[in-house]
Amino acid sequence: MNSSTTLPDVTESNALMVVGWREWVSLPELGILAIKAKVDTGARTSAIDAFDIERYQDASGADCIDFSVNPVQRDKTILRRCTAPLIDIRRVTDSGGHAAERYFIKTTLQIGESTRSIELTLAHRKDMLFRMLLGRTSLAPNIVVNPHLSYSLGRLNARALYAAAPQDSLK
């Protein structure tokens, strides 16, 4: 290593979390206990597969979004109806070069022991292997990706987790 290379200062307050190319995460404000996310440093924003999207104004006049998510791959019986404030509508270009207007929401992401506020686009991902894409802006600060790892924060049985959850705790 040459002297011009600097390593990040890792202290207890800013310790780095190493994640793999795919990880289990949760979105507690949306009632999503577990969803498998592909970690993609090539994507700027995070996206979730959403359908039955309805935009409306709440009693205070704020723009809101209702949408549905099937958080477990290949299991349409697990369905979550989510509600979130609409924070923006932006033009997003996907990996195939196709640009489209997308709704943006802000929600809480739980990844490992870390909880953070992230922006999330509502996207059409039903034909994709992963229901969620975790982009690089959701990783900063303090999360680094080791592409050789997979589920470095642990594996879980999402179907069992949803089955065991009290129904009134789920949206």
> In terms of DSSP bridges, do strands 114-123 and 132-135 run parallel, antiparallel, or are they unpaired?
unpaired
Structural domain includes residue 163: no
Residue 169 or residue 142, greater confidence? 142
pLDDT score for 67: 97
What's the Cα-to-Cα distance from 29 to each of 49, 79, 80, 88, 109, rounded to whole Å?
Answer: 16, 15, 12, 18, 9
Domain of 116, CATH number, reads 2.40.70.10
87 found inside a domain: yes
The model's confidence at residue 14, banded by pLDDT at 50, 70 and 90, is low
**Tens-place pLDDT, residues 74-113:** 888 999 999 999 999 999 887 778 888 999 999 999 999 9
Mean pLDDT across the stretch 133-141? 92
In a domain, 149, yes or no: yes
What pLDDT, on a 0 to 100 scale, did the predictor assign at position 138? 93
| Residue range of the domain that includes 126 | 17-154
Domain-embedded: residue 7? no
Q: What is the pLDDT of residue 49?
A: 95
Q: What's the rounded mean pLDDT across residues 51-66? A: 96
Residue 11 has pLDDT above 90, yes or no: no
Q: What is the pTM of this model?
A: 0.85
Q: What value does the mean pLDDT of the chain take?
A: 88
Percent of the chain with pLDDT over 90: 68
Q: Is 162 left (phi over 0), alpha (psi -120 to 50) or beta?
A: alpha
| Cα angle value 40/54/74 (rounded, 5°) | 50
Identify the pLDDT of residue 70: 93
Tell me, yes or no, whether 88 lies in a domain.
yes
Q: Is the pLDDT of residue 56 over 60?
A: yes
In a domain, 83, yes or no: yes
Q: Is residue 5 part of a domain?
A: no
**CA–CA gap between residue 126 and residue 55 (Å, rounded):** 20
Residue 135, pLDDT above cutoff 90? yes
**Is 22 among the domain residues?**
yes
**How many domains does the structure of the chain reveal?**
1
Residue 99 backbone dihedrals phi, psi, to 5 degrees: -100, 140
